[in-house]
A and B are shown apart, each in its own frame.
Chain A
Amino acid sequence: MDLLNGVMSLDLGDGIMFLIAAGLVYLAVVKGYEPMLLLPIGFGAILANIPLAAEEGLRPLHILREIGIGTELFPLLVFTGVGAMIDFGPLLKNPRMLLFGGAAQFGIFMTLSVAVLMGFSLKEAAAIGIIGAADGPTAIFVANKFAKDLVAPITVAAYTYMALVPIIQPPVIRLLTTKAERRIRMDFYEQPVSKKVKILFPIIVTFIAGLIAPASVSLVGFLMFGNLLRESGVTDRLSKSAQNELVNIVTILLGITIGSTMTAESFLNLQTLMIIGMGLFAFVFDSAGGIIFAKVMNLFSKNKINPMVGAAGISAFPMAARVIQREAQIADPTNFLLMHAVSANVGGQIASIVAGGLILALIH
């Protein structure tokens, strides 16, 4: 009879969680949405909801949760890999686009206030708002500091919406811009960037961010350390390891560990639904913030900016830039905004981490 204990312990909550886990695996395998994260998360959720086994057989995952997420180690190691992958060149050639990275963080703070209105504490609201950073490791890092119990739904919402950027952004763009605005052409001048600038940039950014928002120094520092490995030109092996082996191994562990926290008791509640809803709200207002900021800049600028470029200021790279280019070509097949959009998108990657650091610094 012992063999049937597991079967007899299955309940409706487990069943619903298996469906959710299957949904995540489906999105990863069939739709190709953020498969690197959603597949391990989905499988981790299956493991977490097998009755009895979840309590008795998953000690290794509990240990990984403590040492990898509890200490914020996993998101920071992922940042090292991401930093090694990022080429800041497009931003260094066109630094004005960094402004859109800043403006497109508006959704984070708007969502924070909405979450407070819906009854969440300020720290929980900040953790939910950070979904709008469109930056998985930052979302995990901040959520783990402020609302450990909400890490799983926040992570799932962040990665799912990042994958859905091509579906979320176009309606927002079309709602907030006229066809004439979407047809605005922007000249692009290729400004060469010296190697010294590429090497000094990550060091100086870490220094400045650390001084202004000390809480952000690990977030910014690990990202910029990875970038320094890439740009220094003398640590190719380390850079390649950070881009491949390190980030791959940590992503596997991070995904399955996050998934293992998705138990029916912790996930199936109204809070999770509210978090999923507010995550979408954050993404919409991030895009809107960037677009409206570009429109305001156009009031004072001689060289008009295509407002769609503002929406590329979210951190989801390179999806947001691709969406802008596609929308530009729909409005005018001969218009090319990709380089501007990529610059804004890279700016968003920096700004989202700064936003995470500022939230950590502002809320105690």
Chain B
Amino acid sequence: MSELLIESFKVMGMGMLGIFVVVAIFYGTIVGLGKVFPADKE
């Protein structure tokens, strides 16, 4: 049980870290796309 619990904490840590890494990449993508393709140039 304790091993399983430690494993679940690892999944929690890696999962939340992973989400924030992906979210940060998406954020950078949106900001980058906005700069490359500004709406006022259309």
Known: A113-B9, A116-B8, A194-B38. A359 touches B15 (CB 8 A): yes
CA distance A184 to B34 in the complex (A): 28
A362 at interface, CB cutoff 8 A: yes
Smallest CB–CB gap between B4 and chain A, Å?
5
What mask results when residues 332 to 360 of chain A are scored 1 for a CB within 8 Å of chain B, else 0? 00000000000000010011001100110
Would B19 and A351 count as touching, CB distance under 8 A? yes
What mask results when residues 185 to 212 of chain A are scored 1 for a CB within 8 Å of chain B, else 0? 0000001111111001100110011001
A10 at interface, CB cutoff 8 A: no
Interface SS of chain A: helix
Among B1, B5, B23, which residue has the most Cβ atoms of chain A within 10 A? B23
What mask results when residues 81 to 106 of chain A are scored 1 for a CB within 8 Å of chain B, else 0? 00000000001100110110110011
Please name all residues of chain A whose beta carbon is closer than 8 Å to the beta carbon of B12 when the two chains form the complex.
109-110, 112-113
For A92, give its contact among B1, B5, B14, B34 (CB under 8 Å).
B34
For B11, give its contact among A92, A101, A112 (CB under 8 Å).
A112
Smallest CB–CB gap between A148 and chain B, Å?
20
Known: A105-B16, A205-B26, A354-B22. A117 touches B11 (CB 8 A): no
Closest to B14 in A: A362
Please name all residues of chain B whose beta carbon is closer than 8 Å to the beta carbon of A125 when the two chains form the complex.
8
Would B29 and A204 count as touching, CB distance under 8 A? yes
What mask results when residues 20 to 31 of chain B are scored 1 for a CB within 8 Å of chain A, else 0? 111101110111
Would A122 and B4 count as touching, CB distance under 8 A? yes
Would A126 and B11 count as touching, CB distance under 8 A? yes
For A102, give its contact among B4, B14, B23, B37 (CB under 8 Å).
B23
Please name all residues of chain B whose beta carbon is closer than 8 Å to the beta carbon of A361 when the two chains form the complex.
18
Please name all residues of chain A whose beta carbon is closer than 8 Å to the beta carbon of B26 when the two chains form the complex.
95, 98, 205, 208, 350
Please name all residues of chain B whose beta carbon is closer than 8 Å to the beta carbon of A116 when the two chains form the complex.
1, 4-5, 7-8
Please name all residues of chain B whose beta carbon is closer than 8 Å to the beta carbon of A117 when the two chains form the complex.
1, 5
A363 at interface, CB cutoff 8 A: yes
Would A212 and B21 count as touching, CB distance under 8 A? yes
Please name all residues of chain B whose beta carbon is closer than 8 Å to the beta carbon of A209 when the two chains form the complex.
22
Please name all residues of chain B whose beta carbon is closer than 8 Å to the beta carbon of A96 when the two chains form the complex.
27
Please name all residues of chain A whose beta carbon is closer than 8 Å to the beta carbon of B27 when the two chains form the complex.
95-96, 98-99
Closest to A125 in B: B8
Closest to A354 in B: B22
Would B37 and A201 count as touching, CB distance under 8 A? no
Please name all residues of chain B whose beta carbon is closer than 8 Å to the beta carbon of A358 when the two chains form the complex.
14-15, 18-19, 22
What mask results when residues 134 to 161 of chain A are scored 1 for a CB within 8 Å of chain B, else 0? 0000000000000000000000000000
Would B30 and A91 count as touching, CB distance under 8 A? yes
Would A201 and B33 count as touching, CB distance under 8 A? yes
Please name all residues of chain B whose beta carbon is closer than 8 Å to the beta carbon of A126 when the two chains form the complex.
11
Would B19 and A112 count as touching, CB distance under 8 A? no
Please name all residues of chain A whose beta carbon is closer than 8 Å to the beta carbon of B30 when the two chains form the complex.
91-92, 95, 98, 197, 201
Known: A95-B27, A109-B11. A355 touches B39 (CB 8 A): no
For A194, give its contact among B7, B11, B19, B37 (CB under 8 Å).
B37
For A122, give its contact among B7, B31, B33 (CB under 8 Å).
B7
CA distance A204 to B33 in the complex (A): 10
CA distance A92 to B35 in the complex (A): 12
Smallest CB–CB gap between A121 and chain B, Å?
8
5 A-B contacts, Cβ less than 8 Å apart?
A: A92-B34, A197-B37, A208-B26, A354-B19, A363-B11
User: When A and B form their complex, which 10 residue pairs have the shortest distance between CB atoms, in order from nearest?
Assistant: A192-B39, A109-B12, A102-B23, A95-B30, A196-B37, A194-B39, A113-B8, A116-B8, A197-B33, A358-B18
